[in-house]
Amino acid sequence: MAGRPAPGRRGKLTEAARAWVRGRPPIDTTVLVQLRQWGAAPEVLRAAEEQLQAQAQAAQVRVWPEHWHAVQVLLAMATQWVWVPCGMAGARPVGLRLEALPVVLPAVRARVQRQHRQPYAVLLQQLQQLEDAALAALAQQAGG
């Protein structure tokens, strides 16, 4: 079927949405600071810096080129969540305000390279997958 992600590639959209909800994990540089304070040898400092860089790189989420457009739309729509009251717990998100898409899409499309642009139907399907995964991650983060 045209526009459907290849088998095994759907998980990347879910992974991207979950990463957006979690944010960047902090990289603890305390050891590096302490090594410098104690006058560690240059090769020890270099090894510690390489290890921190490897941790930062491992924390990155890779996005398939065919999903790049949808991920950029999700990021641009970050302020467009619909929130509903949830009793004493405050409020929870229930979905994106899709009526904002006509405003957001042209701005995002201008930033996305031509070869990564998706037809509207494919983009909407991918955005819905991202939205579902983000809602699940937000609910899990909230303890529900």
Residue 1 lies in a domain: no
| Residue 113 within a domain | yes
Residue 14 lies inside a defined structural domain of this protein? yes
Residue 5 inside a domain? The answer is no
pTM of the model: 0.69
Within a domain: residue 132?
A: yes
Secondary structure class of 29 (helix, strand, coil): coil
Range of the domain at 88: 10-24+59-141
* Per-residue pLDDT tens digits for 67-91: 999 999 999 999 999 999 988 878 8
Number of domains in the chain: 1
pLDDT at 23: 75
Confirm whether 119 is domain-assigned. yes
User: In 1-144, which ranges are E strands?
Assistant: 81-85, 91-96
Lowest mean pLDDT among 21-30, 47-56, 92-101, 125-134: 21-30
Residue 101 to residues 3, 39, 53, 130: CA-CA distances in angstroms?
Answer: 19, 55, 37, 15
DSSP at 115: G
CA dist 92 to 22, 24, 38, 64, 77, Å? 16, 22, 48, 30, 16
Q: Is residue 112 part of a domain?
A: yes
Q: Is residue 46 part of a domain?
A: no
**Over the stretch 86-140, which tens digit does the pLDDT of each residue have?**
888 788 899 999 999 999 999 999 999 988 899 999 999 999 999 999 999 988 8
